[in-house]
Amino acid sequence: MLFFKRQLPLAIAFIFGLIGFLAQYIPHHSFEAVYNELISWVRLLYAFALILGTYSLLRLHFKRIERKTAGYGYSIILWIGFSVTFAIGMYNEGDWFLTGQSRTGMLMWIYDYIFKPAGATMFSVLAFFIASAAYRTFRARTMAAGMLLVAAIIVMIGRIPIGDMISEHIPTMAMWLMEVPNAAVKRGIFLGVALGVVATSLRIIFGIERAYLGGD
Amino acid sequence: MVLKSEEIKDLILFLLLVALLVGTNIYLFASGKLEFNWEGIGIMLAAGITVSMYSFLYKDNVLFKTVEHLYVGVAAGYVLSVYWFAIFYADLIEPLFFPPPGESPAWYRLMPMLLGIILLMRVSKRIGWISRISFAFIMGFYSGIAIPNYIQTMIVQQLHYTVRPLFSAGTPFEMGIQIAFLAVIIIYVILDWLWLSALNKAWVNALVLLPFFALLLFGIYGGIAGINQIMVLVGVLSVLVYFFFSVEHKGVIATTSKMGIYFLMVSFGASFGYTIMARMSLLVERLEFLIREWLQLT
Amino acid sequence: MQRETLAKILNLDRRWIFLMVLICAIGARFVDIDMQIFPKKTVKAMYDSIEEVAKNKGTVLLSMDYDPAAKPELEPMSRAILRHCFSKGVKVIGMTHNPHGQRLAQTVLESSAAEFDAKYGEDFALLGYKAGGGTLVINMGQDFRDAFAKDFANTDIRSLPVAKDITSLTDIDYVISVASSGYWEAWMIYGHDRYHFKFGTGVTGVIAPDVFPFIQTGQVTGLIGGLAGAAEYETLIGKPGIATIGMKPQSAVHVLLVLFVLFGNFIFFWDMILKRRQEKAWKR
């Protein structure tokens, strides 16, 4: 049983990791055909993995309703929102779910007038909190913090039309900050990130990294 | 139930908000600014959702929590519908069971379907272990394709640009500026290593760095490309040294690392400025929706 | 001023700050001031690339990889790009990596096309959403029709003149990813460097600083960063839109925030000076 739970998955990760790696260097048409097919498989499996995320969310709220924890009424609202939307989606304006998705209809109405405004507003609330933080917490206590604030102010003013109205040097300086010191730093960070990705990928392929398998 | 004065104030404000929303919508429909059709009702609903979410800025309240949970539920329902039509039906069900006339069923799609169903077994405590096969396939294969692509894009191409001739061709004066700029940086590193870091006086640091800033500004406004190339090289190296924790940060390493911190602060400041711009843009658009589409003030 | 007063000013209830931001943003919207927008070279690079595609009567693949949370910043740039393409007769193939973005892509594509009487199937098409990120990009590069056999309305792409000759990403003249998260990276890492198509990107302000290293290396040709970038693009195409209108309140709030930072630091340092004087006085 341990073979199926541990050795087999690690062997699969190794074999297909090797295939994925070698495919970049073997232009032979048979190998390419296998590679193309495997790429499709991975792409399709992503969708199944995304369902797991949605399932977790719904299960969490279902448990809250079951146990009648504090605020379970909101979980009922979540489930109603989900059920109605999904049912309307599957109804598909009368064509049901074994055909292409309708381009108009009730599902699109729900998207345009409930989902879209809620999603857009949710993150715009952050604008107010940033303003509050700018007043209450952004302090130039050290030279490094001071440099950060000066750079932030130059970029903030330089990126808007008022920067050009005050002086043409401000947008020039803002652009230089982005193109030179910022690009240099991001480059250094990306080099480190890439090395980390390569190292982690090798660890996954060789079975050293097993966290993705979950517990025993 | 006896309410405290703070709670009474909050309740009054909450009821005022609801009354304002209802009153505004009644006025908009009655005056004909909003038509009483699906679009008009939708705009009213969208405005209500927007204002309810902003009510959180005063205090967390029932309206906000209701809208928040409704949003999450609707998002889950919508996205599952999209998955079904765009992926499961279009790429699996239709090619397998409803192929176009004249085409045979795509039996090769049975394998990813089987792997997908195995992956979904993750939810079961008893046989959830079988999903490891599918996860191993995804993780292994994706790791394999990531390695050469990341090396090429993030390492080779980036290093190729960084490791370039330091000095750009130009007049002897421009060459002199570039050499002086590099020399000033090297001198600062040596001075900091031998003297400045022990002295720990900000004004002395600033004084020593004056030639650096002067040459930098001269290079930027004089259009000497080599200055930027030197800055990029120094920036990349110093940031890499800062993040290299396997060696103790002493002496020259400490100075280079300190330079890396300054570069990082400038970059984070620039990123922060852009982040503020991003967040403010979101607010601006929502207000534009309320002003233009709901209240129709412009 | 006493330290207690300074402390009260420093610890002002944040709801007053929220109110100031709101009044500033709404007030600036109604101020009549002419703001000149000067496009930056990264935005001009994307404009020039589309002009070049137009000269060769080519095709642009516009990947609208964003959701409603990023719509305020990214939809104006998608719209400006589409207006530019349709006005020049450039064919557009739309798609998205983001499942929440399919409807957004549909709305902006159809409304922009309607302004120029562009015909679906001949001048533009919407392929819709597919999962996969980097693997989707590779799939499109290896076999375009395997990735997208049908468009988002379940029509075979072989029956769409705009897409029927596309077999790989190498057949696309310019790929643009308008993205709110890492999708632009997936296009660049798994697409551009493998299949060598010209690639440009429009991203939110949060991500824009990350793109600059890749502009220098030529991996990204053209960058529109945030709402300001979208306003610059609208200026280039001569059609001011939502982004240009948004520059007034945006500018006002930026100035307000700078004042907040400066004022907060001023009060902070004043308080620090008073504190040091107090401590010196106690020591005596």
Nearest to B267 by CA among C216, A189, A175, A178: A178
Q: State the best of A107, A155, A216 to mutate against chain B, taking most chain B CBs within 10 Å.
A: A155
Q: What is the mean pLDDT of residues C109-128?
A: 95
Mean pLDDT of chain B: 89
Query: In which band, very low, low, confident or very high, does the pLDDT at B197 lie, cut at 50, 70 and 90?
Result: confident
Q: Which candidate from C131, C189, C254 shows the least CB-CB separation from B87? A: C131
Q: With an 8 Å Cβ cutoff, are C250 and B277 in contact?
A: yes
B19: distance to nearest CA of chain C, Å? 20
Q: Which candidate from A39, A134, A156 shows the least CB-CB separation from C138? A: A39
- In the block, which residue shows the tokens 């062997």? A11
Pair type for strands C91-96 and C59-65: parallel
Does pLDDT of C123 surpass 80? Answer: yes
Nearest to B276 by CA among C73, C10, C30: C73
Q: Which candidate from C72, C130, C213 shows the least CB-CB separation from A43? A: C130
Distance of CA A125 to the CA centre of its chain: 20
DSSP A98-144: SSPPPSSSHHHHHIIIIIHHHHHHHHHHHHHHHHHHHHHT----SHH
Judge whether A13 and B140 are in contact, CB under 8 Å: yes
Q: With an 8 Å Cβ cutoff, are A156 and C254 in contact?
A: yes
Q: State the best of A82, A128, A185, A213 to mutate against chain B, taking most chain B CBs within 10 Å.
A: A185
Residue C125 structure tokens: 């098409």
Residue of B nearest to A37 (CA): B108
Q: With an 8 Å Cβ cutoff, are C254 and A162 in contact?
A: yes
Judge whether C157 and C164 are in contact, CB under 8 Å: yes
DSSP code for A168: T
CB distance from B66 to chain C under 8 Å? no
Give the length of chain C: 284
Contacts of B82 in chain C (CB under 8 A): 99-100, 102, 129
Residue C120 structure tokens: 């679906």
pLDDT of residue B166: 78
pLDDT in tens, C171-223: 999 999 999 988 999 999 999 988 999 999 999 999 999 999 999 999 999 99
Helix (H, G, I), strand (E, B) or coil at C163: coil
C60: distance to nearest CA of chain B, Å? 22
Q: Subunits touching A (CB < 8 Å, at least 3 pairs)?
A: B, C
pLDDT in tens, B49-72: 999 999 999 889 899 999 999 999
Contacts of C210 in chain A (CB under 8 A): 186, 190
Strand segments, DSSP code E, in chain C are 59-65, 91-96, 124-129, 174-179, 198-203, 223-225
pLDDT in tens, B166-184: 777 778 888 888 888 889 8
Helix (H, G, I), strand (E, B) or coil at B146: helix
Contacts of A179 in chain C (CB under 8 A): 212, 215-216
The residue type of B250 is K
B153: distance to nearest CA of chain A, Å? 9
Burial class (CB in 10 A: 0-12, 13-18, 19+), B250: exposed
Contacts of A134 in chain C (CB under 8 A): 257, 260-261, 264
CB distance from B86 to chain C under 8 Å? yes
pLDDT of residue A24: 86
pLDDT of residue A215: 64
C5: distance to nearest CA of chain B, Å? 24
- Sheet of C198-203: strand order equals C124-129, C91-96, C59-65, C174-179, C198-203, C223-225
Cα gap B205→B197, rounded to integer Å = 9
pLDDT in tens, A165-197: 898 889 999 999 999 999 999 999 999 999 999
Query: In which band, very low, low, confident or very high, does the pLDDT at A87 lie, cut at 50, 70 and 90?
Result: very high
SS3 per-residue string spanning A1-59? CHHHHHHHHHHHHHHHHHHHHHCCCCCCHHHHHHHHHHHHHHHHHHHHHHHHHHHHHHH
B173: distance to nearest CA of chain A, Å? 22
Cα gap A210→A6, rounded to integer Å = 9
Q: With an 8 Å Cβ cutoff, are A81 and B38 in contact?
A: no
Residue of A nearest to C40 (CA): A175
pLDDT in tens, C32-79: 888 899 999 999 999 999 999 999 999 999 999 999 999 999 999 999
Q: With an 8 Å Cβ cutoff, are B86 and C21 in contact?
A: no
Contacts of A115 in chain C (CB under 8 A): 68, 100
Neighbouring C-beta atoms of residue B263, cutoff 10 Å? 25
Cα gap C102→C99, rounded to integer Å = 6
Does pLDDT of C157 surpass 60? Answer: yes
Judge whether A120 and C71 are in contact, CB under 8 Å: yes
Q: What is the mean pLDDT of residues A143-147?
A: 87
Q: With an 8 Å Cβ cutoff, are C153 and A101 in contact?
A: yes
Q: In chain A, what are the domain boundaries? A: 1-57, 70-137, 140-206
C203: distance to nearest CA of chain B, Å? 10
DSSP C8-77: HHHT--HHHHHHHHHHHHHHHHT----------HHHHHHHHHHHHHHHTT-EEEEEEE--TTTHHHHHHH
Does pLDDT of A104 surpass 60? Answer: yes
pTM attached to this predicted model: 0.92
- In the block, which residue shows the tokens 């448990």? A63
Contacts of C28 (CB under 8 A, 6+ apart): C248, C249, C251, C252, C253
Q: State the best of B35, B61, B71, B201 to mutate against chain A, taking most chain A CBs within 10 Å.
A: B71
Q: Which candidate from C38, C258, C268 shows the least CB-CB separation from A153? A: C258
Contacts of B55 in chain C (CB under 8 A): none
Distance of CA C209 to the CA centre of its chain: 12
- Sign of the CA dihedral running C271, C272, C278, C282: positive
Contacts of C164 (CB under 8 A, 6+ apart): C157, C158
Name the packing angle between helices B5-30 and B38-54 (round to 10°): 160
Contacts of B136 in chain A (CB under 8 A): 8-10, 12-13, 16, 212-213
Judge whether A122 and B53 are in contact, CB under 8 Å: yes
Paired residues of C200 in beta bridges: C176
Helix extents (H) in B151-250: 157-162, 172-191, 197-199, 202-222, 225-242
DSSP code for B93: I
Q: With an 8 Å Cβ cutoff, are B153 and C149 in contact?
A: no
Cα gap C200→C188, rounded to integer Å = 9
Judge whether C162 and C61 are in contact, CB under 8 Å: no
Contacts of C141 in chain B (CB under 8 A): none
Q: With an 8 Å Cβ cutoff, are A81 and B146 in contact?
A: no
Contacts of A113 in chain B (CB under 8 A): 41-43, 45-46
